[in-house]
Amino acid sequence: MLVKWSRCTVVDRRGFERGQRKWAGLPGEPGFRGQGGGWSRLRPNVAHVVSFWESRPFYDSFMARSYDRLAAAQAGTFKEAQATLFSYRFDVKTGFEPRFSDADVLRVAHCRVREDRVEHFALMQEKVWNPAMAGSPGMLRGLFGEAPGNEFLIMSLWQSAAEHGKYRQERIERLLLRARTQADVAAMTGDVVELEPSWTV
């Protein structure tokens, strides 16, 4: 599975949201698995959208045929757009599906990992972080994805911001030490996204 994570700074919020609804045509695209997104809880006017495709060839075919037509509706409504493609590596918890209807919050963590620490980083995600997240009340499902250049995306869906907040307060510092994350990671950014139901496709 291929994961596309897009984020942008929106300058015309109403126009952007109107354009976002045009993506409702995606389910007719071969290889499309799902899409969702919303507004950052930490940075005003930053929007995140995550879409899922069966494989890179399906995604490339969509980009060549249909993307420009759908994207035209949002032209001029945002600036500073970034999009990164990640290959799915494994679930966080079990049975990941690209569904958003039962979640209120999406957490994204984007890590650039030192080249000699990639295997350790992935192992710690599997052995330390995943069990901690999977055991947290309110955490629904997530995934761990990889992009060229030692970039990784850890994405998790939560029932509510309150549940995600409890996990953060109780666990993060202890887990960072146990996984020796600082030794692995050259740079890390993240965000907490309030999901907009009308953006779910």
The domain tally of the chain equals 1
pLDDT digits (tens, 9 = 90+) for 1-37: 999 999 999 999 999 999 999 999 999 999 999 999 9
Question: Residue 80: which CATH number?
Answer: 3.30.70.100
Please write the tens of the pLDDT for every residue from 67-113: 999 999 999 999 999 999 999 999 998 889 999 999 999 999 999 99
Calculate the alpha carbon distances from 45 to 17, 99, 141 in Å: 11, 24, 26
The residue range of the domain holding 49 is 2-199
The answer, as to whether pTM is greater than 0.85, is: yes
Q: Is the pLDDT of residue 168 over 80?
A: no
